[in-house]
Structure 1
Amino acid sequence: TTRILSESSQRKTICIEGSFEGNTSPAIVILEKKPFSGQNLKNILNTESILSKDFINDIYGNYECFPKLEYNGIKTTIIHPATEKHIKKFESQPIHLVEETPDLYESITYPHLQTEQFDLTWVHNILEHKSEVDRIVFEDSDPTNGFILLPDLKWDGKQIENLYLVGIVNKKGIKSLRDLTGEHLNLLKNVMEKGCNAIEEKYKLPRSKLRVYLHYQPSFYHLHVHFTNLKYDAPGIYTEKSHLLTAVINNIELMPEYFQRATLPFVLKETDKLFLKYEEK
């Protein structure tokens, strides 16, 4: 049995929950149409592609194009076995904006994070070179200010139009924006500088064409920074979710305890356990 968790015509994605034959553990499959690449246009606009006519009216014609199989792939992400937290994450639900004061963070959010968060084994596997070593784009091994830069799961690592990389810091124990203080400025500046330089060197995309930011709340609680193509309408780039790294650095330079004193907004789904705790308050 399968069911659709969510779908987006804008992003051309669909998330499905189901199970594989011979295995009862739940799985999530995310299907995403790839963006067009100028490099592949000649492989689509040629005589090997099949055109099916819909209609013609004067100078306007509508067709459906069927390119060769290798140019019609669908990016597929599989999470298996998927936990209830994964399912809730991808399931379409009503959402609410929460204004988190420092007091609310200490009394509600932080205690919740101590018991309810995604397992970080996969993050530690990357940092310890147990997994995804061949996907690493750049690495600074410094234990305090270093990080590993690699493609996000949402990116195929090829098409620059939707470039999306993640910088995962080596230092453990920094969960989110709320933990950042003046002592982390060198770390943040290092991620910004070396991350942007590595992307420009490998993908020829300069810093002025990159969006570099952090999420709050993040999807997992080990500090990481997102690097996306500025033209790409990536998930989670809106003002209630993302904080530009340059602004984060500037705020801390102005006030080292800024993120311990600021009210931070974030969005929660209606069935999220954290939202239910805020509702009880």
Structure 2
Amino acid sequence: MAERGEKRKRESEAENGGAGDSETPAGAEHPLAGFKLQSILRESARDKTIFLHGQVSGDGKSTEDAVVILERAPFQVETVTRLLGNNPELKLQLKNDIYSVYHLNPPPELNEMKTTIIRPATEKHIKKYVRQELYLIQETGEDYKNITLPFIESGSFSIKVDDLYLIAISHPRGIKSLRDLNEDHLPLLKNIQQEGQAAILKKYGVKGNQLRIYLHYQPSYYHLHVHFVALGHEAPGITVERAHLLSDVIQNLELDSQYYTKCTLTYALRADEPLLQKFKEAGKC
């Protein structure tokens, strides 16, 4: 069971001030010195997050590209207690019977935003956060053999594991994704489910029926792995066109050993993904 990859580690260090510094050291360059907004790459009202591309003063003379991610911090019990317990100023927006909506402006110390800065940002970084059109692919078993599998084997899709959180990674190699699974893998899948639940219960006190346990298709990397996420946490990639519950996978294979070899799997691809181009070239989308 792997909990954090190096990327998560770096992000955690960045969130917590690296080696313990909570502010920019005296005399050090401000990470957003001379920031000039170039474009809004993407924004999400649901996640209360905005992704920005800008330029900052690198050494006072030259400029560097930077990606800045602004995210509203989650509420904390102590914060809301302080905020609502001091008769905050409320501006009425709407009132209907017992329901009323107000605008509340918290004091600066309670209005922090998590700010992630990537600098110098390469074109690859900027492209990663640009909003892309999405296309649904309905991949049949034949499509997998003729389009997706050759694409995977060409090495065009990275299999580097660089962003792990709470994930079970299978030891056996050669199981790339759902498409490779059959009844021979049922003991492995059941073991991942049972041992994963037991380990999480022991360490975190979270029961199996409080977990969302699933596989991605398409996955981020082609080595079989299973995600374990608390039901209350809306993690990226839990949408119906990507996440497949492990319990459903096990049941499908018990009903038909070749289920994932034959079935049509629907998933979304971004406009800039090479695999989408392969499907277009084959006249499949």
Length-normalised TM-score, structure 2: 0.68
The residue identity in structure 2 corresponding to 1:122 is: D
Paired position in structure 1 for 2:50: 14
3-state DSSP of counterpart to 1:122: coil
3-state DSSP of counterpart to 1:235: coil
Post-superposition offset of 1:265: 1.0
Paired position in structure 2 for 1:115: 155
Check 1:198–1:122 CA distance in 2 against 1; reply closer, same or farther (3 A cut).
Answer: same
Q: For 1:81-120, what per-residue CA distance to the aligned partner results, in whole angstroms no more than 9, with x for missing partners?
A: 8776665554322221111112211221122223322351
For the pair 1:42 / 2:100, whether they are aligned, the reply is no
Paired position in structure 2 for 1:198: 199
The residue identity in structure 2 corresponding to 1:16 is: L
Post-superposition offset of 1:8: 0.9
CA–CA separation in structure 2 for the residues paired with 1:83 and 1:262? 40
CA–CA separation in structure 1 for the residues paired with 2:162 and 2:121? 14
1:92 pairs with one of 131, 136, 141:
131
**Runs of 5+ unmatched residues, structure 1:** 124-149, 153-164
For the pair 1:54 / 2:122, whether they are aligned, the reply is no
3-state DSSP of counterpart to 1:278: helix
**Runs of 5+ unmatched residues, structure 2:** 1-36
CA–CA separation in structure 1 for the residues paired with 2:116 and 2:90? 33
Check 1:99–1:57 CA distance in 2 against 1; reply closer, same or farther (3 A cut).
Answer: closer
Post-superposition offset of 1:274: 1.4
Q: For 1:209-244, what per-residue CA distance to the aligned partner results, in whole angstroms no more than 9, with x for missing partners?
A: 221111111122232222222233333222211100
Length-normalised TM-score, structure 1: 0.69
- Any conservation in 2 of the 1:51–1:63 contact (CA below 8 Å)? no
Pick the structure with greater CA Rg: 2
Question: For this pair of structures, how many residues does the alignment match?
Answer: 239
Bigger relative contact order, structure 1 or 2 (CA pairs below 8 A, ≥6 apart): 2
Paired position in structure 1 for 2:181: 180
3-state DSSP of counterpart to 1:231: coil
Post-superposition offset of 1:180: 2.0
CA–CA separation in structure 2 for the residues paired with 1:73 and 1:191? 39
CA–CA separation in structure 1 for the residues paired with 2:41 and 2:169? 28
The root-mean-square deviation of aligned C-alpha atoms, in Å, is 3.4
CA–CA separation in structure 1 for the residues paired with 2:181 and 2:63? 42
3-state DSSP of counterpart to 1:256: coil
CA–CA separation in structure 1 for the residues paired with 2:42 and 2:105? 26
For the pair 1:217 / 2:218, whether they are aligned, the reply is yes
